Structure 1
Amino acid sequence: MNAREPTFRQRLGAVLFADVVGYSRLMGRNEIDTYKALRALLEQLEAACVEHNGQFVDVKGDGILARFDTATDAVLFGVELQRITESSNADLPLAQRISFRVGIHLGEFLLDDRGIHGDIVNIAARLQELAEPGRVFVSSSVYEQVRNKLRLGYEFLGPQMLKNIEQPVPIFCIRTEVEGATMAATVRPSAPSMGYSRPDTPSIAVLPFDIRGGDDSESWLAEGLTEDIILALSKFKNLFVINRNTSFAFRAPDVPPSKAATKLGVRYVVRGSVQRAKTKLRIKVELIDTDSSRTIWGETYDRDQEDIFEIQDEMTESIVGAAAVLVEAEERRRFSASIPSDLAAYGFVLRAQQLIFKYTRRDNEHARMLYEQALSLDGKYARASAALSRTLNIDWRYSWNEDGDQALDTALSYARRAADLDPTDARAFGELGFVHLYRKEHDAALGAYDRALKLNPNDADLLSDYADALAHSGQNEAAIQHLQRAMRLNPFFPDQYLWHLGGAYYNLKQYDAVIETVSKMNNPTEGQRMLAASYAQLGQLDLARKIADKHRVVHPNFSIKRWEQIIPDRLEEDTQHFLEGLEKAGF
């Protein structure tokens, strides 16, 4: 007698895979408490899954497999899972906290009485393995379904090869801090091949330094040194230096320098490593000419950590010299970074740098605390004062601080203090420019940005902010030119650059260019106002009003009256032109 054939059905849906980070470590430290805590948490999560129209298919030890009929429900539950988990950790010591990685994929799966099967499950599991603790990673099939429906942040991480999956899978990281996601650097899906032509001047990319010794807790030192070298090199007008955000996208140590150079359109690549043992540092660095695949300069520094500033100066000077850039000695001296009087203050700044570019409310707050600690140790540390101003600026921009306008005023005072302490600090003048712009002091804003870019002509974020100030001052053609250069210096530019570019095109009434530009944003809900206004100005009112309806769902509190008060246009006709488009679209 033949065994009964198994019965199954093919279904289309979304699969979520979640796994506890460091489960074996947690169990090894306290098996009973970890088991009880996880069991209680899983009960909460299963109830939340049902509320989001989902079903737990399998729970094995530290892993969850759940299925949903729609990608929207799966993503909303993924976000809720992380919120519930974070809330349950609030009163626990750091070593006892439970953290999940989550992966979600959309497609067909096989459903039988034993569960669900197929590539969709494998891909969700592999996405989970790539995810950072506390994050939700989704495939492009999920992103396409939710991008215009949910007000979440989406950071494109590029196509990734997953174990036992033949074709690369484009991956997005979900962020609840949608405002911060528009400022975070990201691979651009619209230009995956990149391959930029080289500029006429010597061009350099500094790849992230590796930490040797396997201690990830020291990554702040390697990242801080990398960023400082980029900052020092970017101040030379005779060099073309790729922005830190784009450089940091090439973190993998096995990325060949020639491949990075080809993608970024540069000739020279700097790479290195950092190893620390108590108070000793070993820093290895090399400069590679990718045309000849030859290391044209390399050095190993075995020093006390107190010598770190001397090492930085030597590295910068050697890299500049090896790249055959003629820089006057006086200019080189003027561009040297200000050294704090306290080495611990520098350590706080490097740790804060690792946080500030994440653009989340919590990381921004943590960075501010570290900058304040640095200033408490060295009250004349200009760099810490300028960076503290930046954290307050971000707070104000996204209403993360209850102080409101007071945060902007405090940011102004810190930026002024930094500029007084160190007149060569470009970032201090950039912060001054931002504050003056939103105080509608346009001449002061443009003057501050102009001075900042004279000090650091290769700072892509400064160029983008300056372009925004130019556009709000009626100088839209100049704004577009600066944004194009910013995008070349930082090919992995954030959505914010596209928002600034779209605003300049809108002022020039080039509505088709606005639509093309805003449509490239990874976070389309943040560009819907400009998109709707542009379609309305083109007479496509039905489409404009559909976009406006989508905007109301994700931005229910948007007010034209409030926007009119915030928008810092010098020309009243520019403000009215945008409001006209919004009103035609039905806002």
Structure 2
Amino acid sequence: MSGHKKTTTVRRQLGAVLFADVVGYARLMGNDEIDTYSALKSLLEELEAACNAHDGQVVAVRGDGVLALFETATDAVKFGVELHRIAAQNNSARPEEQQLRFRAGVHMGEILVDDRGIHGDNVNIAARLQEIAEPGRVYVSGPVYEQIRNRLRFGFEFLGPQRLKNIAEPVPSYCVRSEVAGAAMAATLRPPEAQPAGRPPPGIPSVAVLPFVSQSGDQSDSWFADGLTEDIILNLSKFKNLFVIARNSAFFFKTRSMPPQEAARELGVRYVARGSVRRAGARVRIAIELIDADSGRTIWGERYDRNIDDIFAIQDEVTDAIVAATAVLIEAQERKRMAQAAPADLAAYGFVLRGQQFIFRYTRQDNREAQTLYERALARDQDYARASAAISRTLNIDWRYSWAKDAEHALDTALSYAQKAVELDPTDARGFGELGFVHLYRKEHDAAIGAYRRALALNPNDADLLSDYADALAHSGDNETAIASLQQAMRLNPYFPDQYLWHLGGAYYNLKHYEAVIETLTKMNNPTEGQRMLAASYAQLGRMELARDMAARHREAHPNFSLERWTKVQPDRLEEDTLHFVEGLKKAGF
């Protein structure tokens, strides 16, 4: 008798694929095999139930990996975020070294389905996205983002085209952030079609300081190299006749391997500084070079091998050398103003540098971590103005995103810390910036504008300060100046956050330039946060179908939005500006 081979039926199907696996699974199994196996088995059962609740199907469990299939990208991404929430909830009862944390990737397209599961390139792309994802995050491909960008109230950070293992073409990718509020403030790349038009290089010397490389061997020591980079940027940015790329944009090059000339072209500057730091006990070795991007030549380089106590002197020397090498003329008064009060206690400075690692991530937990470290700095040195200003900033962020239990108290406390900062050090721009924010939302417009102007006189290259100042100007009725300030902020910070676009859209709306509002807000990586203003703008133009569609999407993403509460919080000086916005929202169906 001849045997009969069983034929497998293969069909094509459109679907969204999620792949997730446990970070450091081999290490966890090596530490405690039985505990890890039992905990993961229980967790996977919980995740499978959650997957079914999101109209998905767990197709396979491969060791520590989960492969799931969904009909829609919306359900796949919702489950990805829920997966991390469930894992975090389970981890709360486990020691940190035994916690099970996932990475997740989502892609959609045609897949091959047979009785053994799902296959094909589109499945592989989801698996490869998972491999590059940060722990606790969901990375999605461009096709997934296009499906969910106006439907889900998450933050989306564009990561650029990513080269994935064994995938021929780079895949445009996004990181999903469940804490959408903070994502609006985080620096981000933008797809090429959403980039602002290229601008000619500034007419004054321009420089970008790329993140210094830590050579200490211990990755956890990178905070020192990052902090040194930030402080050099801070020192340079105080010179009015020097154009300095913002910290947020410069730090995008920390994980990107790119020749200095290429980085200079991307950022639109003439000079690039880069360096390395090795810290060992009480000694620090710093190497730095300044490169002329036009010629590719190193025009200045130096090595420092000093006691760590000399760190402020080294910073001053580096700043002076870069300024001199870029042929910037410095007035004596400007040089004097650049100096900032160093802490009496070097450990206090260390706490501030560690805090900086968390403050720019803009999540509730990271903001809390930063605040704790700044408080420790102030406990070591109660006269440290920079720590006081930094605490004020964390409290302002708490208030801005309703992360504080007592919102009004957070704003009042932020005011007192900012006032203390500027009393201790009148050259501290950030202290005046925090004062400006508090005064604006207390509806003290003249005080807010005055504080921001003092801040920018001290640090004219601070892009975030320029954006916040522009917001205060728009709420005070000076929309043309607001627009000019935002354009300058975007030039200083090419990887600007969505917040800049929101502020710009608000100024255009006040001027009744509704087409400009629409063009601006559709460039946001997270368009759900611009839906109110988009709906109002479409309604004012008489495009009612689009206005109502945008209002419906907003209701889905923001079910608790209250027009009455929003009207009370708006810090407009001119009542007609508030009424103008309310009119547009009501026309759209709010």
Please say whether Structure 1 and Structure 2 have the same fold, judged by a TM-score greater than 0.5.
yes
1:533 equivalent to 2:533? Answer no
**Residue 558 of structure 1: how far off its partner (Å):** 1.1
- The answer to whether the 8 A contact 1:196-1:262 is kept is no
Aligned partners of 1:242 and 1:452: how far apart in 2?
17
Q: Percent identity?
A: 70
SS at match of 2:254: coil
Which residue is equivalent to 2:470? 467
Which residue is equivalent to 1:510? 513
Aligned partners of 2:37 and 2:48: how far apart in 1?
16
1:252 equivalent to 2:273? Answer no
Aligned partners of 1:512 and 1:11: how far apart in 2?
40
- The answer to whether the 8 A contact 1:531-1:544 is kept is yes
Which residue is equivalent to 1:154? 156
Cα deviation, 1:361-395, whole Å, max 9, x if unaligned, reads 01001111111010000001100100100000000
Which of 333, 336, 341 aligns to 2:339? It is: 336
1:225 equivalent to 2:228? Answer yes
- The answer to whether the 8 A contact 2:157-2:188 is kept is yes
**Residue 253 of structure 1: how far off its partner (Å):** 5.9
The equivalences for 1:114-193 within 5 A come to: 114-189=116-191, 190-191=193-194
- The answer to whether the 8 A contact 1:355-1:364 is kept is yes
Cα deviation, 1:419-449, whole Å, max 9, x if unaligned, reads 0000001010000001001111110000000
1:100 equivalent to 2:102? Answer yes
- The answer to whether the 8 A contact 2:194-2:523 is kept is no
Query: What is the letter of the counterpart of residue 43 of structure 1?
Result: E
Query: What is the letter of the counterpart of residue 513 of structure 2?
Result: Q
Cα distance, 1:400–1:34 mapped onto 2, change above 3 Å: same
SS at match of 1:493: coil
Which residue is equivalent to 1:75? 77
- The answer to whether the 8 A contact 1:234-1:457 is kept is yes
SS at match of 2:546: helix
TM-score, normalised to structure 2's length? 0.97
Query: What is the letter of the counterpart of residue 111 of structure 1?
Result: V
Which residue is equivalent to 1:351? 354
1:402 equivalent to 2:402? Answer no
SS at match of 2:252: coil
**Residue 313 of structure 1: how far off its partner (Å):** 1.2
SS at match of 1:65: strand
Which of 452, 455, 459 aligns to 2:458? It is: 455
Which of 387, 390, 409 aligns to 2:390? It is: 387
Which residue is equivalent to 1:30? 32
SS at match of 1:249: helix
- The answer to whether the 8 A contact 1:195-1:264 is kept is no
Cα distance, 1:253–1:305 mapped onto 2, change above 3 Å: farther
- The answer to whether the 8 A contact 1:18-1:65 is kept is yes
Aligned partners of 2:539 and 2:412: how far apart in 1?
37
Which residue is equivalent to 1:56? 58
SS at match of 2:19: strand
Aligned partners of 1:216 and 1:125: how far apart in 2?
27
SS at match of 2:304: strand
Which of 201, 206, 211 aligns to 2:209? It is: 206
Aligned partners of 2:304 and 2:202: how far apart in 1?
32
**Residue 333 of structure 1: how far off its partner (Å):** 2.6
Aligned partners of 1:314 and 1:345: how far apart in 2?
22
- The answer to whether the 8 A contact 2:337-2:458 is kept is no
**Residue 280 of structure 1: how far off its partner (Å):** 2.2
Query: What is the letter of the counterpart of residue 457 of structure 1?
Result: P
The equivalences for 1:214-293 within 5 A come to: 214-252=217-255, 254-293=257-296
Aligned partners of 2:522 and 2:320: how far apart in 1?
43
Query: What is the letter of the counterpart of residue 251 of structure 2?
Result: F
Cα deviation, 1:290-345, whole Å, max 9, x if unaligned, reads 11111111112222222211211111111111111111234213212221111111
1:313 equivalent to 2:316? Answer yes
SS at match of 1:469: helix
Which residue is equivalent to 2:418? 415
Which residue is equivalent to 2:427? 424
Report the number of matched residues. Answer: 587
- The answer to whether the 8 A contact 1:194-1:264 is kept is no
Aligned partners of 2:242 and 2:166: how far apart in 1?
43
**Residue 213 of structure 1: how far off its partner (Å):** 4.1
- The answer to whether the 8 A contact 2:207-2:272 is kept is yes
Aligned partners of 1:151 and 1:218: how far apart in 2?
35
Cα deviation, 1:397-432, whole Å, max 9, x if unaligned, reads 110011111100000000000000000010100000
Aligned partners of 2:122 and 2:470: how far apart in 1?
44
SS at match of 1:111: strand
The root-mean-square deviation of aligned C-alpha atoms, in Å, is: 1.3
**Residue 120 of structure 1: how far off its partner (Å):** 1.0
**Residue 125 of structure 1: how far off its partner (Å):** 1.4
Aligned partners of 1:319 and 1:571: how far apart in 2?
45
SS at match of 1:299: strand
- The answer to whether the 8 A contact 1:195-1:262 is kept is no
Query: What is the letter of the counterpart of residue 122 of structure 1?
Result: N
SS at match of 2:301: strand
Query: What is the letter of the counterpart of residue 114 of structure 2?
Result: D
Query: What is the letter of the counterpart of residue 261 of structure 2?
Result: S
Which of 572, 577, 580 aligns to 2:575? It is: 572
Aligned partners of 1:22 and 1:193: how far apart in 2?
40
- The answer to whether the 8 A contact 2:216-2:280 is kept is no
- The answer to whether the 8 A contact 1:246-1:493 is kept is yes
